[in-house]
Chains A and B, each alone.
Chain A
Amino acid sequence: MGTDTPVFSFEVTTRDLAGLPDARGDSVKSMLASNYNLNVQSVRVILGYQVRAKLSTEESERTVYDLFADPVMEQGSVNTRLLDDSTIFPVPPQIVIQAGFKPGVTDNAGQAGLDGLLTLFPHLTPDSAVATTRTYAFWGLPDNTSADWLAGKLHNPMIERASISDQVDCEKSVWPSLDFPHQPALDQTAPAIVDLEISDNELIEISETGLLALNLNEMKAIQSHYRDPLVRKAREQLGLPPNAPTDAELECLAQTWSEHCSHKIFAAKIHHKDTETGEASTIDSLFKTHIMKPTLDIQNEVDWLLSIFHDNSGVIAWNKDWSLCMKAETHNSPSALDPFGGAMTGIVGVNRDILGTGLGARPIANTDVFCFGPPNYSEKIPEGLFHPSRVMRGVHAGVRAGGNESGIPTVNGAIIFDDRYLGKPLVYCGTVGIMPRRLPDGRESHDKTPTPGDVVYMVGGRVGSDGIHGATFSSLELTEESPSSAVQIGDPITQKKMIDMILEARDEGLIQVITDNGAGGLSSSVGEMAELTGGADLDLAVVPLKQAGLSPWEILVSESQERMTVGVRPDDCAAFEALAALHEVEATVVGTFTDSGAFVVRMGENVVAHLPIEFLHEGCPQLDLESEWTPPEHEPISFPNTDALGMGELLTMMMARPNVASKEWWVRSYDHEVIAQSVIKPFCGVNHDAPGDAAVIAPIQGQTQGAVISNGIVPRYSDIDAYAMAAASIDEALRNAVCVGVDLDLIAGLDNFCWPDPVESAKTPDGRYKLAQLVRANRALDDVCRAYNLPCISGKDSMKNDATLHGEKISIPPTILFSLIGNHSDVRKAVSSDFKSVGDRVYLCGESHQELGASELSYMLREQIDGVSGIGGRVPEIDAERNLAMYRALTAAMGEGLIASAHDCSDGGLAAAVAECCFGADAGANIDVSKIMGDCTEINSWGALFGESLGRIIVSVEPQHCAAFEAAMNGHACYSLGDVEVGDQISISNGDEAILIASMSSLRAAWKGALEGGGPQ
């Protein structure tokens, strides 16, 4: 379309009606107050739509109220500024800021506007375009508020532009005005040849400047491939440069061999030393040794592990008709640069992993676990980073939009805080899927069935320059030079249409093979599936583009979102395309699966890449790494002198710790009930505000078999021992699942590692220690999963979670998110965490020890009390056999209906857990810990109240069931502690001695207020 096409500017704002606030403006006002302590009298928001289309004047006027402005509650205009209308704004604002996307950035509202425009005027050419802006007008700002500062808080310069009118402009009625974000075509560059007959230093330079993230050994492996006489001869015949790779080949290898895609550290040969025990051993692949082997051993014993390790997610048989699958991913680097877009692409991306499992599964539940810097962080933020509160709002909004708009409930999650996540937030997004065991045509849905000759379709979104180098970028540390092209914004509606279409195509038997386009784009999706048939032929010239002029290698590796790659039999193509047209989903033939032994990429007639499948997938040399474990030393905790009331105040402080505090404000804005399957929800209790443990869903409406979904994450313990951290994460996930009554004979796990770079180098002098932490965590995973009979059906690792900004390196604490999916035999017997009735008996199941090392209490005392207290001490140790035996007894008691409530005992120990159970009942409790203390000689009242020993669950039992319950728990640690009481007080004693007294209303206020996100309510 020529630039002579006119651009119409539409504006919309809330109409002035009594009882109708400008809620968008009020939200900005409360965000400024909450995040920046800036109090503004009034904020108004004007939405702008820049429409580039051949509309007549009459058409444009009709469009104001037929499309953009609501005729009842909004006022709109075309080509005039609402700010000039004194009937709407009688007093001119003090500052006005307009923000809009940069050219090429996904603008979902603009895309929707275009769709609406075409509904009204089908005659418009489809290359008409709509771009959106948001204009913020401020009244009653504090003196000296800088317009530039304010603009910085309202847009992200990496993806957005802003135009500003300061006080002087406003007095003259000069309003901010962004141009239409025209996106000129790029100059397509012809395929380049990359000469690798150069020095080692130059090889490294090519890798670094090209963001290839390949090390010298890998560059040399590529160099030697192109020295192979057979390879040279074959290439000569194809008309390719015989002695050197094309840029497309090098990029494709870099994507396929990236840490992100090929998990090189987990596949490495590791020489491990332990200075404590004297061990010196070699591990040939942590993945094969400690993750795959235990799961394969369990697979030999059970019949429900249908598909593990080789697909986009692991699949388990749930019953004879249905299977379940689950996958969790991280999207850390993009979320650091653009929290909203990064997190949104995280969640819609993992949804596609489910859609791309087997022949296509339906996503039915999301889980989101985030790790951020503290929201109240008051130190200076290194330049290039956002304040954690802004990261948190952005990530939350992105996941909210991605999940809600896709119609997938967010059933479970957690938010963890630690200073070291300032450099890189962790954004874990998980999705559960369901699929019929067999399709109507008889094929088992968890197996892909491609044959050579199947046609390759690219389905969904178009390819742009967004998301080029995402896979390799996330395999590098974050620096101020990190590219904005690695950032994208998801488009949930395009994806939702695609999901609807794909699932219909699956049920009609039209799909032979399917995978998503995530990291590495087409190079990865087609390249990986080519391994199944032994080859593929891909033509980049026919790939639909949203950015004209992309070069072949860019089309090949772009990670533009909302795309699936599907293999379809030639006979089924017409039906497949008809279904795509019905759903208004773009589906384009881009190639063919072959058995030629090579992945061949063409640009029309010209071959731009020819990669032997074997070299592509097996050619990456194994890393050889060193690890060395020496236990770290920490100062012990120094306990303050205090009485029972003082202890109550400490508990109040504990309840307000971000790691413990209620996340209700944030979780409420996730849809957790769509699909009408939510049995145990994120909230429970009489006021719907007490925390749930695991989620229970009953995904087949009207049926009572359920699925349990839970998460465990305890990064603090890595400060003492990553073995303990990993073990505690697994136990927490299982413990949460046990609290709701999971079927312990059908549980599966997902291990999701986020580590700082563990490879020793000049930038990472402590690489051996960090790698030893990884070794220890893997050993814990092996030991504990075997003991719990808990196979890992899917996993992921993200190994470069460091940020170096202006010479200061911030590494995250080694973190594992362990997610669990299990069966629930009858959801009507599920148990929630809230105490039910006054007079019910309270028990603690599981042993308590003096385990306060790296506990939430130790961090709290270090930060808040005296600044000299350390986190040292015994970190919780696992006894998995003992725990599992107790879990089995407790689960059986639940099946008998003996349990009124069950709640996980974790962060903040027994005291925090009892308080949470009381919140759900609007009651107090009277607890005596003398029996616990009597059973453990070393424990003091700090350990009894706040210790975090694993394998512990607080349950309550109706008085008439106590005898049967105690009999059922015979042989397991189970302590009768006291009763649920009327009133506002929680009191904990050791025999006759009161050791903690607190008011429930102050505990509740502290717990609910700490992370309240603000907003007019």
Chain B
Amino acid sequence: MSEVRVAVLSGFGINCETETMAVFEMAGATAVRVHINRLVNGEMSLDDYHIMAVPGGFSFGDHLGSGRLMGNRLRFGLRDQVRRFVQSGKLVIGICNGFQVLVKMGLLPGDEEVSLTQTASLALNDSGHYENRWATLEFDPNSPCIWTKGITRMRVPVRHGEGKFVTNDRELLDRWSESGQLAVRYVDPTTEYPSSSDEVLPYPISPNQSWRNIAGVCDPTGLVFGLMPHPEANHSTWLGATWTRDVDQGEHGEGEGMAIFRNAVNYAEENLL
């Protein structure tokens, strides 16, 4: 077990903390469940960790927009701690509701100053409702994202009602695209790699009709990353959607989603210890 320490946030309706802790542990780190109020009241401090993970869930029931109220708790209640953490070159991931939190609090797609200004959002899926289905993701090989290095494609479940990435300034989209911040997009699994494109793919290949098929983005440094799908839910081969068809007995082992967490723990071991 390495000395890489991961703070996995919990409380107020976050509900994927168990598996999020498990995947970091499987990747060799030490994961600690950290109730947000323990950071607010000073009982614990983000300074003691190398990685912060905001897991999926339904913080505050998704009322007033998913991730909004939790984002406000972090933006107003933990502003200095969060900015210090990011500016000191540490790693942050937000998954699903955690991604929504990071976008609504302005940490993603973010800016060099870590100004915590919201520039994008996650709208209701065009289907109008929550869905749980598997999707195929393709990763941008030119992205600065630490979390996605070397990954080409990955099959993961999406489980959300509000995952359609939008912004009110389309020029920003071009800028994020050029800087490699549009790190991961939905892709048609029957095509050859690489083939991700800006044209919105048909439902359900794009489960939410996200602009430019965006499934996740990183900040300009590549240290902060968030995505709507759940790589932590594909930590073992027997959790795949079609494993009974495509995994032979004897070939069982780590699932496709683990690559993301291994990237982060390896980076932290090499750069943050």
Contact = CB atoms under 8 A, between A and B. Distances in A.
29 contacts: A19-B166, A27-B128, A67-B64, A70-B118, A72-B121, A72-B167, A72-B168, A108-B63, A112-B61, A113-B63, A113-B64, A119-B69, A119-B73, A404-B130, A406-B15, A493-B13, A500-B11, A584-B12, A669-B131, A673-B132, A673-B233, A698-B239, A701-B236, A827-B238, A828-B249, A828-B252, A830-B244, A836-B245, A1016-B126
B241 interface: yes
Nearest to B169: A72
B13 A405 contact: yes
B62 interface: yes
Nearest to B123: A73
Contact of A400 (B60, B76, B124, B130): B130
A116 B68 contact: yes
A705 to B, nearest CB: 12
Contacts of B72: 66-67, 116, 119-120
B166 A405 contact: no
A507 B36 CA distance: 19
A583 B128 contact: no
A109 B61 contact: yes
B124 A23 contact: yes
B94 interface: no
Interface of B: 10-16, 18-19, 22-23, 26, 35, 37-38, 41, 56-58, 60-65, 68-69, 72-73, 76-77, 104, 118-121, 123-134, 157, 159, 164, 166-168, 200, 203-204, 211, 230, 232-236, 238-239, 241-242, 244-245, 249, 252
Contacts of A119: 69, 72-73, 76-77
A665 B6 CA distance: 38
Given A493-B60, A678-B239, A673 B159 contact: yes
A44 to B, nearest CB: 13
A26 B128 contact: yes
Contact of B128 (A15, A24, A67, A901): A24
B133 A685 contact: no
The residue among B104, B129, B167, B234 with the most chain A CB atoms within 10 A of its own CB is: B129
Given A496-B13, A582-B37, A701-B18, A116 B133 contact: no
B238 A112 contact: no
B197 to A, nearest CB: 15
Contacts of A1015: 127-129
A80 to B, nearest CB: 20
A12 to B, nearest CB: 9
Of the listed residues B11, B123, B124, B234, the one surrounded by the most CB atoms of chain A closer than 10 A to its CB is B123
Contacts of B23: 676, 701
Nearest to B210: A19
Contacts of B123: 14, 20, 23, 73
A671 B69 contact: no
Given A72-B119, A115-B69, A496-B15, A704 B77 contact: no
A681 B76 CA distance: 40
A116 B73 CA distance: 8
Contacts of A30: 128
B69 A116 contact: yes
A897 B23 CA distance: 29
A693 B238 CA distance: 17
Contacts, number: 214
A672 B129 CA distance: 15
A109 B12 contact: no
Interface in A699-714: 701-702, 704
Nearest to A1014: B128
Contacts of A26: 126, 128
A335 to B, nearest CB: 20
A493 B58 contact: yes
A702 B235 contact: yes
A1016 B127 contact: yes
Given A827-B238, A828-B238, A688 B166 contact: no
A736 B96 CA distance: 33
B11 to A, nearest CB: 7
Nearest to A679: B238
Given A675-B16, A678-B233, 11 more contacts: A23-B125, A70-B118, A71-B118, A72-B166, A109-B63, A109-B64, A407-B16, A671-B132, A698-B239, A832-B245, A901-B244
Contacts of A828: 238, 249, 252
B195 to A, nearest CB: 20
Given A119-B72, A497-B13, A702-B22, A673 B119 contact: no
A897 B252 CA distance: 14
A23 B128 contact: yes
A14 B167 CA distance: 13
Interface in A819-872: 827-832, 834, 836
8 tightest Cβ-Cβ pairs between the two chains A and B: A407-B15, A27-B128, A112-B63, A676-B19, A701-B22, A23-B124, A72-B121, A832-B244
B61 A405 contact: yes
Contacts of A684: 242, 244
Interface in A391-408: 400-401, 404-407
A26 B57 CA distance: 25
A198 interface: no
A50 to B, nearest CB: 14
B69 A112 contact: yes
A668 B133 CA distance: 7
A701 B13 contact: no
A93 interface: no
Contact of A15 (B118, B129, B168, B242): B168
Contacts of A681: 241
Which of A66, A73, A897 is most buried by chain B, counting CB atoms within 10 A of its CB?
A73
B129 A27 contact: yes
B132 A672 contact: yes
Nearest to B19: A676
Contacts of A676: 16, 18-19, 22-23, 230, 232-235, 239
A670 interface: yes
Contacts of A500: 10-11, 35
A21 interface: yes
Contact of A73 (B129, B157, B166, B245): B166
Given A66-B72, A668-B133, A404 B58 contact: yes
Contacts of A677: 19, 239
A1017 interface: yes
Contacts of A111: 63
Nearest to A1017: B203
Given A701-B235, A828-B249, A671 B159 contact: yes
A669 B133 CA distance: 9
A334 interface: no
A73 B121 contact: yes
A686 interface: yes
Contacts of B252: 828
Contact of B12 (A404, A497, A675): A497
A406 B230 CA distance: 17
B238 A704 contact: yes
A220 B41 CA distance: 58
B58 A407 contact: yes
A684 B134 CA distance: 11
A421 interface: no
A584 B37 CA distance: 9
Contacts of A112: 60-61, 63-64, 69
A492 interface: yes
Contacts of B211: 19
A405 B239 CA distance: 22
A983 B158 CA distance: 31
Given A584-B37, A684-B242, A702-B26, A668 B132 contact: yes
B58 A1016 contact: no
Contacts of A683: 241
B238 A72 contact: no
Contacts of B131: 668-669
B228 to A, nearest CB: 13
Interface in A867-906: 897, 901
